[in-house]
């Protein structure tokens, strides 16, 4: 059989074959594009869910007023801890922790003198700020280093998600609610 003996078909047969191949390629491109679009949409939804989930927690803050300086002085002011819920929903299980900068983690039993002062707030309504005095006898000037006393707050938001706003201001989601005493 020689090359000239092969029947190549009509132009219509060729056009149909080429059209079928192009249609198959276009279908594969559309399927891939849909897959990519669904993946991107899923990622956008996850990001939006994370933003929504963090929205209330980002509106909760803790700070100290009149806190001791690294040299142990406080200019005669009382040291107070303030917790503000600037969100539109209440928070519950709220506990503020005031600590000396060299104090260890909240549950460090081997150094009971380094344990933080726990200010149990419980429920904090929306738009409210709670102020509580830090007892002067709790403050140990020998443990004060830069930047002075520090504070963090742990709470549960209105969706039941547990959070801790760390000393540096970062938010961390937790598995369990804050310890209440």
pLDDT score at 77: 65
pLDDT score at 70: 46
Q: CA-CA distance, 77 to 86, in Å (whole number)?
A: 26
Let me know how long the chain is.
181
Per-residue pLDDT for 113 more than 60? Answer: no
What would the mean pLDDT of 174-179 be, rounded to a whole number? 82
Q: CA-CA distance, 109 to 151, in Å (whole number)?
A: 19
Count CB neighbours of 9 within 10 A.
10
pLDDT score at 66: 80
Q: In the structure, what pLDDT confidence band is assigned to residue 68 with cuts at 50, 70 and 90?
A: low
pLDDT score at 90: 92
Furthest-apart CA atoms within the chain: distance in Å = 110
DSSP result, 125-154:
-TT-EEEEEPPTTT--GGG--TT-SEEEEE
Q: Is residue 17 packed enough to be buried (19+ CB in 10 Å), middle (13-18) or exposed (0-12)?
A: exposed
What would the mean pLDDT of 111-118 be, rounded to a whole number? 69
Q: In the structure, what pLDDT confidence band is assigned to residue 32 with cuts at 50, 70 and 90?
A: very high
pLDDT score at 181: 55
Phi first, then psi, for residue 103 (nearest 5°) are -70, 155
pLDDT score at 75: 53
Q: pTM of the full predicted structure?
A: 0.64
pLDDT score at 106: 46
Structure tokens at 163: 């959070």
Beta carbons within 8 Å of 6's beta carbon, 6+ residues apart: none
Q: CA-CA distance, 66 to 149, in Å (whole number)?
A: 10
Structure tokens at 32: 């891939």
Beta carbons within 8 Å of 153's beta carbon, 6+ residues apart: 60, 61, 62, 83, 94, 95, 96, 97, 164, 165
**One-letter-per-residue 3-state SS of 34-82:** HHHHHHHHHHHHHHHHHHHHHHCHHHEEEEEECCCCCCCCCCCCCCEEE
Q: How far is CA 114 from the centre of its chain?
A: 27
* pLDDT digit string, tens, across residues 140-168: 777 766 667 889 999 999 888 999 998 88
* pLDDT digit string, tens, across residues 38-57: 999 999 998 888 778 788 88
């Amino acid at each position: 059989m020689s090359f000239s003996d092969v029947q190549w078909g009509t132009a219509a047969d060729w056009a149909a074959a080429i059209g079928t191949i192009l249609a198959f390629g276009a279908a594969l491109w559309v399927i891939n594009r849909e897959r990519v679009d669904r993946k991107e949409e899923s990622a956008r939804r996850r990001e939006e869910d994370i933003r929504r989930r963090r929205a209330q927690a980002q509106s909760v803050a803790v700070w100290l007023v009149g806190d001791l300086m690294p040299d142990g002085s406080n200019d005669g002011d009382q040291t107070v801890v303030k917790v503000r819920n600037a969100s539109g929903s209440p928070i519950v299980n709220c506990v503020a922790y005031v600590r000396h900068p060299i104090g260890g983690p909240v549950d460090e039993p081997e150094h009971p003198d380094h344990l933080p002062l726990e200010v149990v707030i419980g429920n904090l309504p929306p738009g409210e700020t709670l102020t509580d005095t830090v007892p002067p006898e709790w403050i140990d000037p020998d443990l004060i280093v830069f930047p002075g006393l520090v504070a963090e707050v742990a709470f549960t938001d209105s969706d039941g998600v547990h959070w801790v706003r760390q000393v540096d201001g970062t938010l961390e989601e937790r598995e369990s609610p804050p310890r209440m005493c």
